[in-house]
Amino acid sequence: MAQPVYDHYFFDESAYNTHDGGYVPLVVAKAPATPLKIPALCQPDQETATDAWYTLEAQKGESQLLPGAKTQTWGYNAPLLGQTLAFPVGKHIHVTLKNALDELTTFHWHGLTVSGPYVDGGCHAPVYPGESKHIDFTLDQPAATTWLHAHPCPSTAEQVWHGLAAMVIVHDQHEASLPLPHTYGVDDIPLILQDRRFHADNQWDYHADYDPDGVQGPTAMINGTINPVFAVTTQKLRLRLLDGANRREWRLHFSDDLAFTQIAGDSSLLPKPVRMTRLMLTCAERAEIVVDFKNYHAGDTVTLFSDDVPLVQFQIHDYTPDTTVLPDQLLAIQAPVVKPDTPVRKIVMSGMDETVAIDGKKFNMQRIDATQAVGLAQYWDVTNTNDMANGMVHPFHVHGTEFLVISRNGQAPYPNEHGYKDTVGVNPGETVRLLVRFDLPGVYMYHCHIIEHEDGGMMAQIQTYEPGKPLPTYHLMDMTTLTNAFAKERGVDPKTMWMPGMDSYMKMGMKM
């Protein structure tokens, strides 16, 4: 039986960000076409059969993004974004985290199943300027496209906007055995999708652009490249797509309505490949797609668009014919069993602008909002109470685990949501049921991944514990310590210092 080809974006059209009052449409930049930058693979400092050691430095730099002055940017082991990290499942990974910035930051492993709160790298794991910290972990999860980004609440959005985001690829033997493109930078290509506004002398000004519903810019930036062009030298490409924007959704399609095949989502391969001509990603979601250029010839150009704006030009060169066929089954999903007496966790995302909250509360760094036993499978019903006519899609993310999407308003999830995920877009007026299990004890955050929303308090945290053992005590960062540290580093009075997200708390009369 022929596979269906899906030609729509699945999400509710009335909730697209194009309907936001503050929507910033993309505009093609007045800049020459530039070869797509492919982030270098981060090489280990040392490696054995069982262990690998890495050094990762958050640093300032400058990047030639537009003609004229270079833009001041931040990155990991790079001036902007970062080198791509590739971790094999089962190898013990040691990472030295170095902060060469002028202010504290954190290193959050978005999508990695690692212990929280310190290794996970949320707001409770600060690395101060000039400081180094060491973490280690061994991954036990499916192959996936994940990422690394700063997470120092409530300045997460500003630091990501400066450029602190990099792709992290998890490899396993099963994925390596499949007939997929596997050569990084040749036929296995990262695409980090972001947007920026350029001010005087080609600089970014986050404070000037701030919007509590999410900062957007009119210029698409792909892997830190403006108007990118990629030279295609193979018949098939595997594109690892990451919505690394603070706010923007990406509605992706190719010229000629070229069909492609989605093979993976956030946290794993899909059970079966899904054919489509349209793909929408909400903030922090990932998708891996395979594009076959068999009907194109040297000299042709295929363009990737978001809505009607070109993002990347793929220029076709001579290639060797590729007769490999994607298997009908990519991954066997083993859903954990939920015991009949396990209560359903109810989570409510509400509000827009400064009023955003989870379960009617804004995030408090030292408050534990929920607990769950390690190994316990539980349904989470996540509801977006925004009005269906005027609301927005809230992308819901959970640290330290990957979940399964069970249903949307009691109906089947979207066809490309049957693999493991860690982020899911929830439409206004919708309840999405997730199947969640944690395998490691710790403290983990869950939140909307419109980054200004999480900074503004649309976030909570859960403590997972080993049954029969006393709850461990964790040192959780407090807002006074964080504020004083930022103020000292920036040379300002804590009472007058501006941090994104804090306006939301002050306007609601709340403290973080």
Same domain, 202 and 306: yes
pLDDT-derived band at 1 (thresholds 50, 70, 90) equals low
* pLDDT, tens digit (0-9, with 9 covering 90-100), for 372-420: 999 999 999 999 999 988 899 999 999 999 999 999 999 999 999 999 9
Q: What is the pLDDT of residue 102?
A: 96
Tokens matching residue 260 = 């492609």
For 233-278, the pLDDT digits (tens) are 999 999 999 999 999 999 999 999 999 999 999 999 999 999 999 9
Looking at residues 314-323, what average pLDDT do you find? 97
Q: Are residues 168 and 274 both part of a single domain? A: no
Reference 82, options 19, 150, 23, 27; nearest CA is: 150
Q: Quick one: pLDDT at residue 80?
A: 98
Pairing state between β 420-421 and 403-408: antiparallel
The number of folded domains in the chain is 2
Sign of CA dihedral 67, 72, 74, 76: positive
489 burial (CB, 10 Å; 0-12 / 13-18 / 19+) is: middle
287 and 164, same structural domain?
Answer: no
Among 297, 316, 335, the domain-final residue is 316
- Between CA 198 and CA 201 the distance in angstroms is 8
Instruction: State the pLDDT confidence band at 501, using cuts at 50, 70 and 90.
Output: confident
- Cα-trace Rg, the chain: 22
Q: Which of 126, 195, 198 is nearest to 165 (CA)?
A: 195
Q: Which of 177, 204, 222 is the last residue of a domain?
A: 177
CB 74 within 8 Å of CB 164: yes
What is the CATH classification number for the domain harbouring 69? 2.60.40.420
CB 62 within 8 A of CB 79: yes
Q: 355 lies in a domain? A: no
Helix segments in 44-164, DSSP class H: 156-162
* 431 assigned to some structural domain: no
In a domain, 480, yes or no: no
pLDDT tens digits along 426-471: 999 999 999 999 999 999 999 999 999 999 999 999 999 999 998 8
For the chain, give the percent of residues with pLDDT over 90: 91
Sign of CA dihedral 61, 65, 69, 71: negative
> Which of the pair, 3 or 473, is modelled with greater confidence?
473
**47 shares its domain with 12:** no
Segments forming the whole domain that contains residue 209: 5-19+184-316
Whether residue 226 is found in the same domain as residue 251: yes
CA angle 439, 442, 447 (to 5 degrees): 90
| One domain, residues 42 and 114 | yes
Same domain, 193 and 307: yes
Q: Is the same domain home to 188 and 303?
A: yes
Q: What is the mean pLDDT of residues 74-96?
A: 98
Whether 500 is in a domain gets the answer no
Q: Do the domain assignments include residue 299?
A: yes
Specify whether 153 is located in the same domain as 248. Answer: no
Could you say which of 177, 212, 240 is where a domain stops?
Answer: 177
**Is 306 domain-assigned?**
yes
pLDDT digits (tens, 9 = 90+) for 195-243: 999 999 999 999 999 999 999 999 999 999 999 999 999 999 999 999 9
Do residues 211 and 86 both lie within one domain? no
Whether residue 411 lies inside any domain: the answer is no
Interval 322-377: pLDDT, tens: 999 999 999 999 999 999 999 999 999 999 999 999 999 999 999 999 999 999 99
The pLDDT tens digits for 278-297 are 999 999 999 999 999 999 99
Rounded to an integer, the average pLDDT of 493-497 is: 84
Whether 498 shows a pLDDT value over 80: the answer reads yes
Mean pLDDT confidence for 15-41? 96
Q: What is the mean pLDDT of residues 153-182?
A: 97
Q: Evaluate whether residue 49 is within a structural domain.
A: yes
Does 151 lie in the same domain as 44? yes
The four Cα atoms 430, 358, 356, 222 give a dihedral, to 10 degrees, of: -70
The mean pLDDT of 28-55, rounded to a whole number, is 97
CA torsion angle 369 373 374 378 (round to 10):
-80
Q: Are residues 236 and 148 in the same domain?
A: no
Q: How far is CA 466 from CA 64, 252, 261, 336, 341, in A?
A: 50, 42, 40, 17, 19
